[in-house]
């Protein structure tokens, strides 16, 4: 869960059978009884295993069969409380179908996103408008810089 929040967010479906990270089938044997495993219980387990708590986490029950549900858990990208730590006191991010420990610079970058969330997309746009400095060597082997706007 923390890896999804530390990355771009994502969804997990609890209560379906999968094989090789692909859903195989949804049937009552794979789904859960909401009387045994409630939406609140799922949220409590997540909250007790991820620090700080993931804000705006959404858990939606989907009826699969009579008295059986699958839970669609939507994890948003963390902004204000980023990064999120796993129970082993490490920070993770998603890379393809796995959770990978974050490098120090990634943790710092995620913390920066928490303090300036509006810059997450704005920095990229500003970088695209920034002047480009081109370097070339002249005939005397000197490096010449020229500046041009894009």
Secondary-structure percent of the chain, ordered helix, strand, coil, rounded to 5: 25, 35, 40
pTM for this entry: 0.72
Domain count, the chain: 1
Q: Is residue 148 assigned to a domain?
A: no
Please state the rounded mean pLDDT for residues 89-95.
94
Least confident of 36-40, 51-55, 80-84, 98-102: 80-84
Whether 109 is covered by a domain: the verdict is yes
CA proximity to 58, closest of 19, 109, 15, 5: 5
Element holding 137 (H helix, E strand):
strand 132-137
Q: Is residue 139 part of a domain?
A: no
What value does the mean pLDDT of the chain take?
Answer: 80
Tell me, yes or no, whether 130 lies in a domain: no
* Spatial distance between the Cα atoms of 100 and 139, rounded to a whole number of angstroms: 49
**Residue bearing the bigger pLDDT, 2 or 114:** 2
Find all residues with CB under 8 Å of 45, minimum gap 6, and list them: none
- Partners of residue 85 on adjacent β-strands: 51, 91
pLDDT category of residue 96 using cuts at 50, 70 and 90 = confident
CA atoms within 13 A on the CB side of 145: 4
Q: How far is 130 from 126, CA to CA, in rounded Å?
A: 6
Residue 66: domain span: 2-125
Here the CATH number for the domain that contains residue 31 is 3.30.950
* Any domain includes 142: no
**pLDDT, tens only, 5-54:** 999 999 999 988 888 877 777 777 788 999 999 999 999 999 999 999 99
What integer pLDDT is reported at residue 9 of this predicted model?
Answer: 93
């Amino acid at each position: 869960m923390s890896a999804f929040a530390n990355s771009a967010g994502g969804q997990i479906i609890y209560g379906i059978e999968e094989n090789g990270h692909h859903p195989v089938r949804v049937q009552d044997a794979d789904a859960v009884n909401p009387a045994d495993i409630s939406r609140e219980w799922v949220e409590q387990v997540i909250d007790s295993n991820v620090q700080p708590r993931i804000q705006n986490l959404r858990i939606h029950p989907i009826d699969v069969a009579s008295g059986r549900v699958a839970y669609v858990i939507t994890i948003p990208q963390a902004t204000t409380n980023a990064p999120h730590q796993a129970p082993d006191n490490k920070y993770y991010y998603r890379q393809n179908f796995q959770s990978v420990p974050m490098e120090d610079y990634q943790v710092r970058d995620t913390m920066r996103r928490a303090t300036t969330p509006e810059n997450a997309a704005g920095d990229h746009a500003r970088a695209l408008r920034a002047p480009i400095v081109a370097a070339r060597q002249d005939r005397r082997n000197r490096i010449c810089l020229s500046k041009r706007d894009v």
